[in-house]
Amino acid sequence: MIGILIFTHADIGKELIRASEMILGPQQHIEFISIEATTNEVEIMEKLKGALKRLGKEGILLLTDMFGGTPMNIGCRFLNKQKNLEVVTGVNLALVIKALTMREKVKDVKELAGIVADYARKDICVASSLLHGISTV
Amino acid sequence: MKPYIWVRVDNRLIHGQIIQAWLPFLNPSVIITVEGDQLPNGIQSTLMRMAVPKHIDLIFLTSEQLKKSWSIFIHNKNDKTVLVLVKEVKIIYEAVIKGDFLPDIINLGNIHALDGRIEITPYIFLSKEEYNMLKEINSKGIKIQLQTLPTQSPLYFEEIKL
Protein backbone atom coordinates (compact mmCIF):
# COMPACT_ATOMS: atom_id res chain seq x y z
CA MET A 1 0.00 0.00 0.00
CA ILE A 2 1.21 3.51 -0.78
CA GLY A 3 2.22 5.19 2.47
CA ILE A 4 1.06 8.69 3.33
CA LEU A 5 3.17 11.09 5.36
CA ILE A 6 1.78 14.50 6.30
CA PHE A 7 4.65 16.85 7.04
CA THR A 8 3.67 20.31 8.28
CA HIS A 9 4.21 23.31 10.51
CA ALA A 10 2.74 22.66 13.98
CA ASP A 11 0.27 19.78 14.43
CA ILE A 12 -1.73 20.20 11.21
CA GLY A 13 -0.83 16.66 10.10
CA LYS A 14 -1.84 15.08 13.36
CA GLU A 15 -5.21 16.83 13.27
CA LEU A 16 -5.80 16.09 9.58
CA ILE A 17 -5.33 12.39 10.34
CA ARG A 18 -7.71 12.66 13.29
CA ALA A 19 -10.28 14.45 11.12
CA SER A 20 -9.91 11.89 8.30
CA GLU A 21 -10.41 9.03 10.74
CA MET A 22 -13.50 10.80 12.05
CA ILE A 23 -14.88 10.45 8.53
CA LEU A 24 -13.35 7.19 7.30
CA GLY A 25 -12.57 5.29 10.48
CA PRO A 26 -9.11 4.09 11.57
CA GLN A 27 -6.41 4.12 8.87
CA GLN A 28 -3.10 2.34 8.32
CA HIS A 29 0.18 3.48 6.77
CA ILE A 30 -0.40 7.15 7.44
CA GLU A 31 1.82 9.20 9.73
CA PHE A 32 2.58 12.83 10.46
CA ILE A 33 5.62 14.90 11.31
CA SER A 34 5.18 18.28 12.96
CA ILE A 35 7.85 20.91 12.87
CA GLU A 36 7.98 23.78 15.30
CA ALA A 37 9.91 27.02 14.83
CA THR A 38 12.51 25.57 17.19
CA THR A 39 13.01 22.15 15.56
CA ASN A 40 16.51 21.82 14.15
CA GLU A 41 17.27 20.38 10.75
CA VAL A 42 19.14 17.32 12.03
CA GLU A 43 16.15 16.32 14.11
CA ILE A 44 13.72 16.81 11.20
CA MET A 45 15.90 14.85 8.78
CA GLU A 46 16.10 11.92 11.18
CA LYS A 47 12.35 11.81 11.70
CA LEU A 48 11.74 12.08 7.98
CA LYS A 49 14.23 9.34 7.09
CA GLY A 50 12.61 7.03 9.65
CA ALA A 51 9.09 7.68 8.39
CA LEU A 52 10.07 7.28 4.72
CA LYS A 53 11.63 3.93 5.56
CA ARG A 54 8.57 2.73 7.48
CA LEU A 55 5.98 3.94 4.97
CA GLY A 56 7.80 3.88 1.66
CA LYS A 57 7.93 0.20 0.75
CA GLU A 58 5.32 0.51 -2.00
CA GLY A 59 5.66 4.19 -2.71
CA ILE A 60 5.01 7.23 -0.58
CA LEU A 61 2.98 10.37 -0.86
CA LEU A 62 4.51 13.20 1.14
CA LEU A 63 1.91 15.87 1.83
CA THR A 64 3.18 19.28 2.94
CA ASP A 65 1.24 22.36 3.99
CA MET A 66 2.56 25.32 2.00
CA PHE A 67 4.56 25.98 -1.11
CA GLY A 68 8.00 27.25 -0.16
CA GLY A 69 7.66 26.30 3.49
CA THR A 70 10.25 24.27 5.38
CA PRO A 71 8.39 20.92 5.16
CA MET A 72 8.30 21.19 1.39
CA ASN A 73 11.89 22.43 1.14
CA ILE A 74 13.16 19.53 3.20
CA GLY A 75 10.83 16.96 1.67
CA CYS A 76 12.02 17.80 -1.84
CA ARG A 77 15.59 16.92 -0.89
CA PHE A 78 14.49 13.29 -0.97
CA LEU A 79 13.00 13.45 -4.47
CA ASN A 80 16.13 12.17 -6.13
CA LYS A 81 17.04 9.78 -3.32
CA GLN A 82 13.85 7.95 -2.45
CA LYS A 83 12.18 5.78 -5.07
CA ASN A 84 8.45 6.27 -5.69
CA LEU A 85 8.21 9.46 -3.69
CA GLU A 86 5.96 12.35 -4.65
CA VAL A 87 5.67 15.62 -2.73
CA VAL A 88 2.35 17.45 -2.86
CA THR A 89 1.96 20.90 -1.29
CA GLY A 90 -1.10 22.66 0.12
CA VAL A 91 -2.56 19.67 1.95
CA ASN A 92 -6.17 19.95 3.08
CA LEU A 93 -8.74 17.52 4.47
CA ALA A 94 -10.27 16.76 1.07
CA LEU A 95 -6.82 15.85 -0.24
CA VAL A 96 -6.05 13.49 2.65
CA ILE A 97 -9.41 11.75 2.34
CA LYS A 98 -9.02 11.39 -1.41
CA ALA A 99 -5.53 9.95 -0.98
CA LEU A 100 -6.76 7.47 1.65
CA THR A 101 -9.67 6.28 -0.46
CA MET A 102 -7.86 6.17 -3.82
CA ARG A 103 -4.60 4.48 -2.87
CA GLU A 104 -6.10 0.99 -3.06
CA LYS A 105 -7.13 1.59 -6.67
CA VAL A 106 -4.30 3.77 -7.90
CA LYS A 107 -1.01 1.99 -7.24
CA ASP A 108 1.20 4.46 -9.05
CA VAL A 109 2.35 7.26 -6.73
CA LYS A 110 2.79 9.84 -9.45
CA GLU A 111 -0.71 9.21 -10.73
CA LEU A 112 -2.15 9.30 -7.21
CA ALA A 113 -0.33 12.58 -6.53
CA GLY A 114 -1.85 14.14 -9.64
CA ILE A 115 -5.35 12.97 -8.76
CA VAL A 116 -5.28 14.22 -5.17
CA ALA A 117 -3.76 17.59 -6.11
CA ASP A 118 -6.50 18.23 -8.69
CA TYR A 119 -9.17 17.11 -6.29
CA ALA A 120 -7.90 19.28 -3.42
CA ARG A 121 -7.67 22.34 -5.65
CA LYS A 122 -11.30 21.91 -6.66
CA ASP A 123 -12.33 21.60 -3.03
CA ILE A 124 -11.46 25.25 -2.47
CA CYS A 125 -14.21 27.61 -3.53
CA VAL A 126 -16.16 30.65 -2.46
CA ALA A 127 -19.44 29.14 -1.42
CA SER A 128 -21.54 32.23 -2.10
CA SER A 129 -20.47 32.36 -5.74
CA LEU A 130 -21.67 28.78 -6.24
CA LEU A 131 -24.96 29.63 -4.60
CA HIS A 132 -25.47 32.72 -6.72
CA GLY A 133 -29.11 32.98 -7.67
CA ILE A 134 -30.12 30.13 -5.38
CA SER A 135 -32.21 31.00 -2.36
CA THR A 136 -30.29 30.12 0.78
CA VAL A 137 -33.28 30.59 3.04
CA MET B 1 22.78 55.81 -2.86
CA LYS B 2 23.76 52.49 -1.37
CA PRO B 3 20.81 50.19 -0.76
CA TYR B 4 19.79 49.27 2.75
CA ILE B 5 21.41 45.89 3.43
CA TRP B 6 19.32 43.79 5.80
CA VAL B 7 20.99 40.53 6.77
CA ARG B 8 19.20 37.66 8.44
CA VAL B 9 20.78 34.57 9.97
CA ASP B 10 18.26 31.79 9.52
CA ASN B 11 19.04 28.07 9.48
CA ARG B 12 16.08 27.58 7.16
CA LEU B 13 17.03 30.28 4.61
CA ILE B 14 13.95 30.89 2.44
CA HIS B 15 10.89 29.42 4.17
CA GLY B 16 7.37 30.29 5.31
CA GLN B 17 8.32 33.11 7.70
CA ILE B 18 10.42 34.84 5.04
CA ILE B 19 7.88 34.54 2.25
CA GLN B 20 4.74 35.30 4.23
CA ALA B 21 6.00 37.74 6.87
CA TRP B 22 9.33 39.37 6.06
CA LEU B 23 9.01 39.96 2.32
CA PRO B 24 5.81 42.04 2.69
CA PHE B 25 7.42 43.88 5.63
CA LEU B 26 10.82 44.62 4.07
CA ASN B 27 9.81 44.77 0.43
CA PRO B 28 13.30 43.97 -0.91
CA SER B 29 14.09 44.12 -4.63
CA VAL B 30 16.89 41.57 -4.28
CA ILE B 31 17.38 38.52 -2.10
CA ILE B 32 20.80 36.93 -1.73
CA THR B 33 20.99 33.53 -0.05
CA VAL B 34 24.16 31.97 1.30
CA GLU B 35 24.06 28.44 2.56
CA GLY B 36 27.79 27.88 2.98
CA ASP B 37 30.53 26.59 0.69
CA GLN B 38 28.05 25.18 -1.79
CA LEU B 39 25.36 26.56 -4.03
CA PRO B 40 21.89 25.00 -3.87
CA ASN B 41 21.31 22.12 -6.28
CA GLY B 42 18.88 22.28 -9.20
CA ILE B 43 15.83 21.18 -7.24
CA GLN B 44 16.51 23.51 -4.32
CA SER B 45 17.19 26.58 -6.45
CA THR B 46 14.11 25.95 -8.61
CA LEU B 47 11.88 25.63 -5.55
CA MET B 48 13.26 28.81 -4.01
CA ARG B 49 12.72 30.74 -7.23
CA MET B 50 9.16 29.52 -7.44
CA ALA B 51 8.44 30.47 -3.83
CA VAL B 52 9.72 34.04 -4.17
CA PRO B 53 7.53 36.63 -5.97
CA LYS B 54 8.64 37.21 -9.56
CA HIS B 55 9.52 40.90 -9.15
CA ILE B 56 12.27 40.07 -6.64
CA ASP B 57 15.70 39.05 -7.96
CA LEU B 58 17.07 35.96 -6.29
CA ILE B 59 20.81 35.39 -6.19
CA PHE B 60 22.58 32.34 -4.77
CA LEU B 61 26.12 32.86 -3.50
CA THR B 62 28.69 30.81 -1.62
CA SER B 63 30.28 32.17 1.59
CA GLU B 64 33.41 32.96 -0.39
CA GLN B 65 31.48 34.86 -3.06
CA LEU B 66 29.69 36.93 -0.41
CA LYS B 67 32.99 37.78 1.25
CA LYS B 68 34.91 38.65 -1.91
CA SER B 69 32.37 39.80 -4.46
CA TRP B 70 29.29 41.05 -2.62
CA SER B 71 29.62 44.52 -4.15
CA ILE B 72 29.16 43.08 -7.66
CA PHE B 73 25.74 41.88 -6.61
CA ILE B 74 24.74 44.84 -4.45
CA HIS B 75 25.34 47.82 -6.62
CA ASN B 76 22.14 48.87 -8.33
CA LYS B 77 21.09 52.32 -7.15
CA ASN B 78 17.48 51.44 -7.86
CA ASP B 79 17.62 48.81 -5.14
CA LYS B 80 16.28 50.27 -1.92
CA THR B 81 16.49 47.16 0.23
CA VAL B 82 18.58 44.04 -0.25
CA LEU B 83 17.78 41.04 1.90
CA VAL B 84 20.76 38.79 2.55
CA LEU B 85 19.86 35.43 4.06
CA VAL B 86 22.71 33.41 5.55
CA LYS B 87 22.43 30.02 7.15
CA GLU B 88 25.01 30.40 9.90
CA VAL B 89 26.63 33.17 11.97
CA LYS B 90 30.05 32.11 10.68
CA ILE B 91 29.13 33.13 7.11
CA ILE B 92 28.34 36.71 8.04
CA TYR B 93 31.38 36.87 10.34
CA GLU B 94 33.71 35.87 7.51
CA ALA B 95 32.15 38.40 5.15
CA VAL B 96 32.23 41.32 7.61
CA ILE B 97 35.43 40.70 9.55
CA LYS B 98 37.60 38.97 6.96
CA GLY B 99 36.01 40.71 4.00
CA ASP B 100 34.64 44.22 3.71
CA PHE B 101 30.94 43.48 3.62
CA LEU B 102 29.07 46.19 5.50
CA PRO B 103 25.45 45.41 6.31
CA ASP B 104 23.16 48.02 7.85
CA ILE B 105 21.68 45.55 10.27
CA ILE B 106 21.97 41.88 11.17
CA ASN B 107 18.83 40.08 12.23
CA LEU B 108 19.03 36.77 14.04
CA GLY B 109 15.92 34.84 13.04
CA ASN B 110 16.20 31.10 13.59
CA ILE B 111 19.33 29.49 14.93
CA HIS B 112 18.40 26.10 16.23
CA ALA B 113 19.61 24.11 19.20
CA LEU B 114 22.62 21.92 18.45
CA ASP B 115 25.31 20.48 20.69
CA GLY B 116 27.21 23.26 22.36
CA ARG B 117 24.68 25.97 21.62
CA ILE B 118 23.10 27.80 24.53
CA GLU B 119 19.52 29.04 24.52
CA ILE B 120 19.19 32.80 24.23
CA THR B 121 15.53 32.94 23.17
CA PRO B 122 13.25 30.04 22.15
CA TYR B 123 14.38 30.58 18.55
CA ILE B 124 17.99 31.59 18.96
CA PHE B 125 20.70 29.31 20.29
CA LEU B 126 24.34 30.39 20.10
CA SER B 127 27.64 28.69 20.78
CA LYS B 128 30.31 30.60 22.67
CA GLU B 129 32.20 30.94 19.40
CA GLU B 130 29.18 32.36 17.57
CA TYR B 131 28.49 34.77 20.42
CA ASN B 132 32.05 36.05 20.23
CA MET B 133 31.83 36.43 16.45
CA LEU B 134 28.69 38.52 16.82
CA LYS B 135 30.31 40.56 19.58
CA GLU B 136 33.18 41.41 17.25
CA ILE B 137 30.77 42.40 14.46
CA ASN B 138 28.72 44.45 16.92
CA SER B 139 31.85 46.26 18.13
CA LYS B 140 32.29 47.60 14.60
CA GLY B 141 29.05 49.50 15.11
CA ILE B 142 26.82 47.12 13.17
CA LYS B 143 23.45 46.75 14.79
CA ILE B 144 22.42 43.18 15.66
CA GLN B 145 18.85 42.35 16.58
CA LEU B 146 17.13 39.12 17.62
CA GLN B 147 13.70 39.06 16.01
CA THR B 148 12.10 36.02 14.42
CA LEU B 149 8.96 37.73 13.07
CA PRO B 150 8.27 41.37 12.20
CA THR B 151 5.39 41.41 14.70
CA GLN B 152 7.73 40.69 17.63
CA SER B 153 9.66 43.45 19.29
CA PRO B 154 13.38 43.05 18.67
CA LEU B 155 15.92 42.29 21.33
CA TYR B 156 19.32 43.89 20.74
CA PHE B 157 22.62 42.06 21.02
CA GLU B 158 23.78 44.40 23.80
CA GLU B 159 20.89 43.16 25.94
CA ILE B 160 21.83 39.49 25.81
CA LYS B 161 24.34 37.48 27.79
CA LEU B 162 25.71 34.01 27.23
Structural domains counted in chain A: 1
A70 at interface of B, judged by CB pairs closer than 8 A: yes
> How many residue contacts between A and B have a Cβ separation below 8 Å?
51
pLDDT of B121: 95
B2 at interface of A, judged by CB pairs closer than 8 A: no
List domains and CATH numbers for chain B: 4-159 (3.40.35.10)
d(CA B81, CA B153): 21
The range of the structural domain enclosing residue A44 comes to 3-130
Q: What is the pLDDT along chain A (137 residues), one digit of tens a residue?
A: 999 999 999 999 999 999 999 999 999 999 999 999 889 989 999 999 999 999 999 999 999 999 999 999 999 999 999 999 999 999 999 999 999 999 999 999 999 999 999 999 999 999 888 887 776 56
Is A78 a member of any domain? yes
d(CA A108, CA A113): 9
pLDDT tens-digit readout, A92-130 = 999 999 999 999 999 999 999 999 999 999 999 998 888
Residues within 8 A of A (CB atoms), B 76-95 only? none
3-state secondary structure of B154: coil
d(CA B116, CA B64): 26
d(CA A44, CA A42): 6
B22: number of Cβ within 10 Å: 24
Which residue on chain A is closest to B45 by alpha carbon? A73
CATH assignment of the domain containing A51: 3.40.50.510
Is A137 a member of any domain? no
Supply φ then ψ for residue B33, to 5 degrees: -115, 140
Is A135 a member of any domain? no
